[in-house]
Structure 1
Amino acid sequence: MNLKIESENTSYLPVAWEYREVIDEEMNKRTTGKIFYFCRSEGICEAKGSVAFMKEEKQKGLFITLDTGAKIRVDRIITLFGKPGAAYDEYDSYANACLDCMGGYEKDAL
C-alpha cells in the first residue's frame, strides 16, 4: 500500500471535539515539539514547533498553523506532541495490515 497515493486521495473528514480540545490545550500551554501527519509529498511528514492558531477554512477543513508557518490539516494529524491525533487509527491500520498477509510472499510463490 502506497501511503503517498492514499494520503493524496482524501477529502476532509470532520474531527471529534476531543482532538480540538487537545490542540487548544497544547496551544494554551505553548507546547513545542513534533507533529507527525499524512502529507502529499512523502506520505508521512513531520513538523516541529508550537501551534500558533487553529482555523476552519470553508470547503477545505480545519487547519493548524505552527509558529514556523507550517500549515497542517487537523484530520491528517497522526500524533501531536506524542499524543494520538485524528489520523492515528488510520496510521495504526497500516501497521496491522500485514497481520493478514503471507509473510512477504505472493500467493503464487507459495
Structure 2
Amino acid sequence: MSSAYKPIDQNYRELLEALVAKRAATRLQFYSDIGEFLTLHATLKELAQRGEEEYLVLTTGEEIRLDRIVRVDDKPAPGYDESFFQCDVR
C-alpha cells in the first residue's frame, strides 16, 4: 500500500462532507495504515487536514485517511466498483 497521499475525487469528498454534517452513523470499509482491510460501524464527526493529508474523524477519535476509504455504506469510493466486493469463491 502506497504511503503517499492521493487526493480523493471531489464528488466523493462532498458525499463525505454531507454525511459528516448529519453526523451519520455509517458502515465504513477502508485500509489501515498497515494494509488491513477493515469494516467499522461508526458515527462520523468531521473532516480534518494534517499537512497535505485529509482524514475522516470518527466520534471514537479514530482517524481514517480519505484515500484509504473503500466504501461508505453502499457507496464505493472511486476506483472500487462492485466487482471489488464480490467473493472469488467459485
Q: Partners in 2 of 1:49 and 1:22 — Cα distance? A: 16
2:21 aligns with: 28
What is the letter of the counterpart of residue 80 of structure 1?
Answer: V
The reply to whether residue 76 of structure 1 matches residue 68 of structure 2 is: yes
Q: Partners in 2 of 1:28 and 1:88 — Cα distance? A: 24
What is the letter of the counterpart of residue 62 of structure 2?
Answer: A
Paired residues of 1:37 and 1:78 also in contact (CA < 8 A):
yes
Q: CA RMSD in A?
A: 2.4
Q: Partners in 2 of 1:67 and 1:23 — Cα distance? A: 15
For residue 12 of structure 1, give the secondary structure of its aligned residue in structure 2.
Answer: coil
Q: TM-score, normalised on structure 2?
A: 0.77
Q: Partners in 2 of 1:86 and 1:57 — Cα distance? A: 22
Displacement of 1:40: 3.4
The reply to whether residue 51 of structure 1 matches residue 44 of structure 2 is: yes
Q: Identify which of 66, 78, 81 aligns with 2:58.
A: 66
Q: Which runs of 4+ in 1 moved over 6 A?
A: none
Q: Partners in 2 of 1:49 and 1:17 — Cα distance? A: 22
Closer, same or farther: CA 86–70 of 1 in aligned 2, 3 Å: farther
Paired residues of 2:20 and 2:47 also in contact (CA < 8 A):
no
Q: TM-score, normalised on structure 1?
A: 0.65
Q: Partners in 2 of 1:54 and 1:38 — Cα distance? A: 17
For residue 4 of structure 2, give the secondary structure of its aligned residue in structure 1.
Answer: coil
Structure having the higher Rg = 1
Higher strand share: 2
Fraction of identical pairs, as percent:
22
User: How many residues align structurally?
Assistant: 86
